[in-house]
Structures are given as C-alpha cells and as structure tokens.
Amino acid sequence: MWKHFVALGDSFTEGIGDEVEGAELKSWVAYFAQKYTPELKYSNLAKRGLVTKEIRLKQLEKAIALQPDLVSLIAGANDILKGRWNRNEYKNEMELMVDSLSKSGASIIIANLPDFTVRLPLPMEQKQLLKEQLLEANEVIQSLSNEYKLYHIDCWNHPMANDHTLWSKDLIHPNSRGYREIAEMIFNRLTVNIK
C-alpha cells in the first residue's frame, strides 16, 4: 500500500472545469486518494497553464523533497495547445523528470494525452496538426513508460475521449464527472497489479 502520493502537472491534474450534477468538482487526485484509502496522504502540486519545462522547474524538486512513494506526471497538453510544441525539448524534459522521480524510489503514474481534436471546433488543417503533435507526445510517453516500467494510463483510447458528457464547456478540461472517471481509470490500472 502506498502511503504518500504527489501529483505533478497542469490544469488537468489541478482539477479545473465545470461542476455537474452528481459529482463534486475536485481533482482526479482527490477522487483517487479517497477511493484508494482514506489514509493515503496526498499533495497536488499541479498548476494550470504550465508547459512541461515550467512543471519541471516549479514542481520536480518540491515533489522529491516530499519523499512520496507514489507520484503522477501528466504533462504536454499546454506545450501543444499554446503552440510551443518541440518534440525533442518535450522528450528531454519528460525524461529528466521521470529519471529523477524514478531514482527517488517512487512508483510513477504517467498518462498519454487525450485526443482534443474530436471535440474542438477547429479548421481541419489545425485539427490535423494538433493530432500529429498529440501523437508525437504520446510516443514519447509510451517510450518512457516502457523504459522505466511506469503505470501507464491510456487517455487516448479510453471511451471518455468521445463522451461529451464528461467534459467542461471549454471542451479541453474534464468536468467533475470526468475527473471522477479518470480517478476510477487510474485506480483500476494501479490496483490490478497489487491484488
């Protein structure tokens, strides 16, 4: 059983979005901790708007200093959505964080990025470019997951990507039911290995 969970990332992990009936608006981190065990201590360092390099600069040292035995790292959406995508830079930043967290001895949750293009009302050319960049990011994530034996969460192929009832009005952030669904997905992925 894990004792202390620390989450790194952007708004997807911070938990911003719309509250919908039947689910309180809180991060998937809070939902996950509640479901895993009430005794799990958790710290959510994630902040909205950050690109991957900013996540490393602002959160990595803090995360390691907290000495968690479980961490999550979900990053890259802002690099793409803010038009700052650079595959090599992203790969280097993610590898540096995964390597540092791995050396700390913590188990690591990583997730590939969901397909925003199925929801966003954008011109076809722009959608195609976004999709190509998302797939590049997901290749990096999959490669790191394989190399470091991480708990990999597949947000790309999960049915929630196409379920509009789980997303906020901005079509980018999950709503409160969506965060609960993500927590469920992560809980199932982790607990299947430790039963």
Tens-place pLDDT, residues 97-128: 999 999 999 999 999 999 988 888 999 999 99
Per-residue pLDDT reduced to its tens digit, 40-55: 999 999 999 999 999 9
Nearest Cα to Cα of residue 69 among 36, 95, 94 = 36
What's the Cα-to-Cα distance from 161 to each of 79, 158, 166, rounded to whole Å? 19, 6, 8
Helix (H) or strand (E) holding 186: helix 176-191
Residues 57, 64: Cα–Cα separation, whole Å: 12
pTM: 0.95
Residues of the chain above pLDDT 70, percent: 98
Residue 193 pLDDT class (50, 70, 90 cuts): low
Instruction: Give domain 4-191's CATH number out of 3.40.50.1110, 3.40.50.2300, 3.30.420.130, 3.30.930.10.
Output: 3.40.50.1110
Mean pLDDT, the chain, integer: 95
Stretch 146-171: mean pLDDT, rounded?
93
Q: Where is 11: in which H helix or E strand?
A: helix 11-14
Query: Contact, 4 vs 41, CB < 8 A?
Result: yes
Q: Which one, of 163, 141, 152, lies nearest residue 77 by Cα?
A: 141
Rounded to whole angstroms, the Cα distance separating 177 from 179 reads 5
pLDDT one-digit tens code per residue, 18-71: 999 999 999 999 999 999 998 999 999 999 999 999 999 999 999 999 999 999
* Residue 195 predicted with pLDDT over 50: no
The domains of the chain are located at: 4-191
